[in-house]
Amino acid sequence: MSKRILITGAGRRLGKVLALHFLQQDWQVVGHYNTVSELPDHDSLSLLQANLADTADTLRLCQQLQHQPAFDAVIHNASCFVPDAAGGHTPAEQAAHLTAHLNVHIVAPALITQCLEHQWNAGAAMVVLADIYADLPNQRFSAYCSSKAGLQNWALSMAQRLAGRVRVNVIQPGPIQFLPDHDDAYRQRVLSQSLVPHELGYGAIIKACDYLLDNEAVTGSVMRVDGGRFVANRYDQIFSAD
């Protein structure tokens, strides 16, 4: 019988690539998406839509998931990435900005995991996508960084709570896949601050997920997949050149 996996944020980018990877490995994939899914139709793919920034919509998704057969794996990949400056400046705008990040990164994974309490197959595993900035704050993205830090802490708590039933691990991606709007100057600057000076691509995350889902001895771990950016010499980002 095919294994079953739930992937949040599976409609585009990394989530889409992860979904296609597991479909190619003959898994049954349940893919969540927010507004748009770029995944092609597949006999082993079912799609569920929900805006995870809206708790009511997340609860609706949870009701749908409770009618699903048991899962062998879950990847919490859905993300909200908005710079603070774009979140507005009034208290109401800031509240909405913070709430969206917290809902997507903490509330939704927690509610989804809770609703699956009795829907895990033996040997199941969960992978949570945090960020290297969970441990390395960036003032321009304080809502993003702090909510990802909360997500990571929650995931490690789940490794304790679900011990013996579900292995839970965290991946901290770095900027391994550039977006089309990233110009060459930006790409070169980022790569100059990494120990591996070339774009690694989503395949690096796929390999990490495969390892964490397969290795029965690994739980409660945090794996950085960032080309060494976290430990690179960052003096040039802190001090002036003279």
Could you read off the pLDDT of 201-219 as tens digits, one per residue?
A: 899 999 999 999 999 999 9
Asked if 82 and 101 count as a contact pair (C-beta separation under 8 A), the reply is yes
SS3 78: coil
The fraction of the chain above a pLDDT of 90, given in percent, is: 79
Q: Smallest Cα–Cα separation from 84: which of 158, 41, 31, 144?
A: 144
- Whether the pTM exceeds 0.85: the reply is yes
Beta partners for residue 6, in sequence order: 30, 74
Q: Is the pLDDT of residue 3 over 80?
A: yes
Q: How many domains does the chain have?
A: 1
> What range defines the domain where residue 34 resides?
4-238
CA-nearest of 13, 36, 129, 140 to 82 is 140
Q: Check: CB of residue 52 under 8 Å from CB of residue 105.
A: no
Q: How far is the C-alpha of 138 from the C-alpha of 102, rounded, in Å?
A: 17
User: Is the confidence at residue 178, as pLDDT, over 90?
Assistant: no
Confidence at 194, pLDDT banded by 50, 70, 90: confident
Distance CA 202, CA 65 (A): 27
**Termini Cα distance of the chain:** 64
- C-alpha torsion angle, residues 212, 41, 104, 133 (rounded to 10): 50
Type of residue found at 177: Q
Q: Residue 240 has what pLDDT?
A: 41
Identify the CATH number of the domain in which residue 142 sits. Answer: 3.40.50.720
What angle do the packed helices 108-115 and 55-65 form, to 10 degrees? 20
Provide mean pLDDT across the span 94-123.
98
Beta bridge partners, 129, equal 171
Strand ranges across the sheet with 222-225? 45-49, 28-33, 4-7, 71-76, 120-129, 166-173, 222-225
Structure confidence by residue, pLDDT tens digits, 119-159: 999 999 999 999 999 998 899 999 999 999 999 999 999 99
